[in-house]
Structure formats: structure tokens, C-alpha cells
A = this chain, B = another copy of it.
Amino acid sequence: MVGVRAASVQVVIYRADMAERTYGELPQFPTGSTFRDRRELAASGVHRPLQAGICGGKDGSESIVVSGGYVDDEDRGEEIIYTGQGGNDPGTRRQIADQQLTVGNAGLARSQLEGNPVRVIRGAGGDAAYSPPTGYRYDGLFRVVDHWADTGIDGFQIWRFRLVSLDSIDSPPTDAIDGVPVDRSAAVVQRLIRSTAVANGVKKMHHYRCQVCGVDLTTPTGPYAEAAHIRALGRPHNGPDAPGNVLCLCPNHHALFDAGAIYVEAGLVRDWQGNELGVLRTVPKHKLDSAQLVYHRKHRCP
């Protein structure tokens, strides 16, 4: 953990439009950066709201503060069970009403669905084993891996989120097993964030509709689609992590595509035996890389 001197906080990236999200790490504030108070923290852009524990809305959440504000929080270091916002008396810190899956809570659920990383900031009020002695400290990127409704200690409904440190999530076997040392805390996390950004961009271009069947899956926290890499990332395929190598698919067609059950050629979707299934849905701004489609057909389909 390295402290960041107050001087570096001069790089203010606060923006008026709170809805524009910045996911991932801010280069000026690496893990371990410290902040005197919520005002300094907000000014840094690492966690922009002055009071709320969650920076987010239904489009996603970019950061949270863990500082002992909710009796149901559980901090285990690499894993945090975080209580959603709302229904809380700031004076007594007890729950006095049910929480809803809205605003920041909906945002954390959305970040789970999209795979977006969440910046975690710990405050001095949190679990003594993992919190800074004073002020606030940025403790790196976490991923939301689960969320569920529960009855809290005070008898009201709360939404709970399980967040796991990206440092503790193992990189895919591709990176971990061929004896080549991988700088996990930098390269792997950066790649993961870039990959998430590319995936989100493609899904947005298609409004989360499957390019094969046009289905539009709806969940309580927004639409759901998957970004399917045409030529797989990592060894041995080494496909590029770029929009031209990504399709926006429903989970069913993602599974079929990866299993070599369908392929795309000259704008048509065919089954592996060559039968035409239909036209691939496209949008003008999403240009597919046809060399990757050729690779997919050649290597995946029998």
C-alpha cells in the first residue's frame, strides 16, 4: 500500500454529469491512494458523491465506500458482503425501512450483469482489520459476483452484494499455466478492463439484441446480452480484443457459436452443415472482421 500525497489530488477529474461513468482504475490514483476526507475523495474522482456510499445508478455503479455505515456489512479483505443503500438511519446506523433494488443498488446489480469492475474505498469507520486508521483509502478493483435480498439484523429487507477483489480472481488458465510469469495486478487487470469496455461497446451498438435471432432479454436491472469473441482471446487462438472480433449474442447463440454449431459467412448465419438459418443482424457502425469469421468457421466447425 502506498500513500498518495495531497498534492496529487490537484488532478481533479470531477465532472458535472454524474451519469457519465468511469469504470476501472484512475491512473492518477493507484491502489493504496489515501484521502483525508470525503471532500478530497470526491474531488479526486475516485468516488464522486460526497455522502452516498454507492456512486451509481441503474446504468451501473463505478465505486463504493465501505466505512461501517451499515450493520449488515461484512468485510473479509479480499471479499466484501456489502449492504445496499437506503432504509438506514444515519444517526444510529440501523435499518429503519426496506431497501429497494433501485439507484445505487440497481447499479451494483447492473455492474454484476455487465461484468464491470467497481472501485472499493475503505474508510476509517470500517472493520479495523482492513480499514485505514484515518480518512479513506482506495483499495483496488472488485467485481460484483452475487446479489440477493435478505432480512437484515434489524428485521428489514436489505439487498446484499458479494464483491471479490480482482487480484484474488484468477486469470483464465491461458495465462496461468504455461510457466510464463504474469504480472497479475497490472497486465491482467488492465486487459480485463479493456475487454469489458470493448464488450460493453458492442452490446450497446446492438441495443443488447442478439445478432442471430434478435431476441432482447430483459432483467430487473436492464437488458442482457453477451459479447462473443469470434476468434477466442488467449492461447492458442490469440484473437484481437477489438469490436470487429466481437458479436452481440444471446446466451443461446453464444453457446452454439462457441460449440461450432453455427458460423457466419457473407452476412448469413449457417449451421455447421451449411444450412442457411438467416441473415446476421448488423448496424452500420459495427464493422466485423471477416478474417476472424473465416478463422472461426475453419477451426470450430467440423
Asked if A150 is at the interface of the complex by the 8 Å CB criterion, the answer is yes
Asked if A259 and B221 make an inter-chain contact with CB atoms under 8 angstroms apart, the answer reads yes
Which of B219, B259, B260, B300 has a CB less than 8 Å from the CB of A260?
Answer: B219
Asked if B252 and A149 make an inter-chain contact with CB atoms under 8 angstroms apart, the answer reads no
Number of copies: 2
Q: Which residue of B lies closest to A160 (CB)?
A: B236
For A76, the chain B residues whose CB sits under 8 A away are 177-179
A150-176, CB < 8 A from B: 150, 160, 162, 164, 168-170, 173, 176
Q: Interface 1/0s, chain A 179-205, versus B by CB < 8 A?
A: 100000000000000000000000000
Q: Which residue of B lies closest to A74 (CB)?
A: B236
Q: How far is the CA of A250 from the CA of B81 in the complex (A)?
A: 30
Asked if A251 and B255 make an inter-chain contact with CB atoms under 8 angstroms apart, the answer reads yes
Residue among A100, A220, A302 facing the most chain B CB atoms (10 A cut-off): A302
Which of B168, B220, B232, B261 has a CB less than 8 Å from the CB of A220?
Answer: B261
How many residues of A are in contact with the other chain, CB < 8 A? 49
Asked if A137 is at the interface of the complex by the 8 Å CB criterion, the answer is no
Q: Interface 1/0s, chain A 266-302, versus B by CB < 8 A?
A: 0000001000000000000000000000000011111
- Chain B nearest CB from A147 CB (Å) reads 9
Which of B236, B237, B261 has a CB less than 8 Å from the CB of A81?
Answer: B236
Interface residues of A (CB under 8 A from B): 76-79, 81, 100-101, 113, 145-146, 148-150, 160, 162, 164, 168-170, 173, 176-179, 215, 217-221, 224, 232, 236-237, 250-252, 254-256, 259-261, 272, 298-302
14 extra interchain contacts, Cβ-Cβ under 8 A, other than A149-B300, A217-B252, A251-B254? A76-B177, A77-B177, A79-B173, A79-B177, A169-B173, A217-B255, A219-B261, A220-B260, A220-B302, A221-B259, A224-B259, A250-B251, A250-B252, A251-B251
